[in-house]
Amino acid sequence: MKRVLALLLFSLPPLAGAGGFVDLRDAPVVAGDAAAGAAKVAVCVACHGAEGNAAVTAFPALAAQHPGYLYQSLAGFRRRADPASPMTPQVQSLGDADLRDIAVYFASRRRSAPAVSSAADLPGARLFRDGDAARGIVPCQGCHGATAQGHPLHGTAPRYDYYPALAAQSADYLAARLRRYRDDGQVDTSNALIMRGIARNLDDAAIAELAAWLAATPRESTSTSGDYP
Ligand code: HEC
Ligand code: HEC
């Protein structure tokens, strides 16, 4: 896996936007105040649902997502200020401490159980676990964990907190996100660069299979950061 990573990082040119390129390989722990965050999300839950469990599938669930990933995602929306993203006006007036508090708050919320349950023999389950060498698809579990809860080394170093859990996320959102990694040139962090290299080899059928399995896989716990040994 280390070799795949090195290859990806060196073979693709960083395509940074106006805000520059952010290297997350030595990213620090994201700490914040969950109670303060709870008071700052009234506008967010209109789209992302109560406690970050979205009712509309176009909106990603945020509950129980890792705080590092949530924080860098919000910081990215603010940095890029892309007029096409519905998130741009949401983050423009928020400061760095607000983003941290909000990230820690949503991370501490429980993710709702999937509406349908996952079947271990779904094609998406095999693709996620084993990849498909013939199509150049690497196993997703190497970075997202066997049951898509986050990086297998999560909890051992802060940077793995910046790898998202994918379990119990909306299939529509996951598919749209994967197509965006594949088709968009916009890559402004080392982590997005990794995911762009992965998504390049995913066709629409593979994306649909992976998204269906992930949406049906339960998220097992909430997430905190700052408790590294
Ligand atoms: C008008 C609806 C709307 C509101 C209000 C809204 N969002 Fe979003 N949010 C979206 C959509 C749509 C996306 C996915 C599209 C995208 O990535 O550009 C998204 C994406 C995100 C993501 C990325 C999730 C991931 O898995 O990568 C985070 C984090 C997020 N929103 C947090 C927030 C927070 C915090 C607030 C409140 C300050 C908020 N959102 C308010 C619609 C909204
Ligand atoms: C080499 C490590 C690595 C592998 C292998 C990998 N990913 Fe990722 N993935 C990441 C990282 C790092 C991010 C965070 C990217 C960012 O911050 O934009 C990510 C982000 C994602 C996201 C965005 C989640 C969200 O909430 O917006 C999806 C979806 C995803 N990966 C799916 C997959 C699938 C499906 C596979 C297998 C085909 C896969 N990944 C394989 C490292 C990896």
| 11 or 226, which is more confident | 226
Mean pLDDT, the chain, as a whole number?
90
CA of 192 to the centre of ligand 2 (A): 8
What percent of the chain is modeled with pLDDT above 70?
A: 90
pLDDT at 183 over 50: yes
Give the predicted TM-score (pTM) of the model: 0.93
Give the list of residues 6+ apart from residue 13 with CB closer than 8 angstroms, or none: none
Q: Determine the average pLDDT of the residues in 204-224.
A: 94
Protein residues whose CB sits closer than 6 Å to any atom of ligand 1: 41, 43-44, 46-48, 58-60, 62, 70, 73-74, 85-87, 90, 102, 164
How many CA atoms lie less than 13 Å away from 75 in the CB half-sphere? Answer: 21
Give the list of residues 6+ apart from residue 12 with CB closer than 8 angstroms, or none: 187, 193, 196, 197
Which amino acid appears at position 83 of this protein? P
Which ligand 1 atom sits nearest the alpha carbon of residue 70? 29
What percent of the chain is modeled with pLDDT above 90?
A: 83
CA of 144 to the centre of ligand 2 (A): 7
pLDDT at 218 over 80: yes
Give, for ligand 2, the residue of 122, 198, 201, 207 to mutate: max count of ligand atoms closer than 8 Å to Cβ. 198
pLDDT at 7 over 90: no
Instruction: For Cα atoms 59, 15, 205, give the angle at the middle one, nearest 5 degrees.
Output: 50
* Dist. CA 197–CA 170, nearest whole Å: 22
Residue bearing tokens 């007036």:
93
Reported residue count of the chain is 229
- Closest ligand relative to 195 C-alpha: 2
The protein residue whose alpha carbon is closest to atom 25 in ligand 2 is 164
How many CA atoms lie less than 13 Å away from 207 in the CB half-sphere? Answer: 20
- CATH for the stretch 2-215: 1.10.760.10
The protein residue whose alpha carbon is closest to atom 13 in ligand 1 is 59
What is the chain written as a DSSP string? -HHHHHHHHHHS-----TT--B--TTPPP----HHHHHTT-TTTHHHH-GGG--SSTTSPP-TT--HHHHHHHHHHHHHH--TT-TTHHHHTT--HHHHHHHHHHHHTSPPPPPSS---TTSHHHHHHHH-BGGGTBPPTHHHH-TTSSS-TTTTTSGGGGGSPP-TT--HHHHHHHHHHHHH-----BHHHHHHHHHHTT--HHHHHHHHHHHHTSPP------S---
Does residue 112's CB lie within 6 angstroms of at least one atom of ligand 2? no
* Dist. CA 131–CA 123, nearest whole Å: 11
**pLDDT tens across 38-85, in order?**
999 999 999 999 999 999 999 999 999 999 999 999 999 999 999 999
Domain coordinates in residue numbering, the chain: 2-215
Q: What is the pLDDT of residue 117?
A: 78
The protein residue whose alpha carbon is closest to atom 18 in ligand 2 is 192
**pLDDT tens across 86-136, in order?**
999 999 999 999 999 999 999 999 999 998 877 777 899 999 999 999 999
CA of 2 to the centre of ligand 1 (A): 31
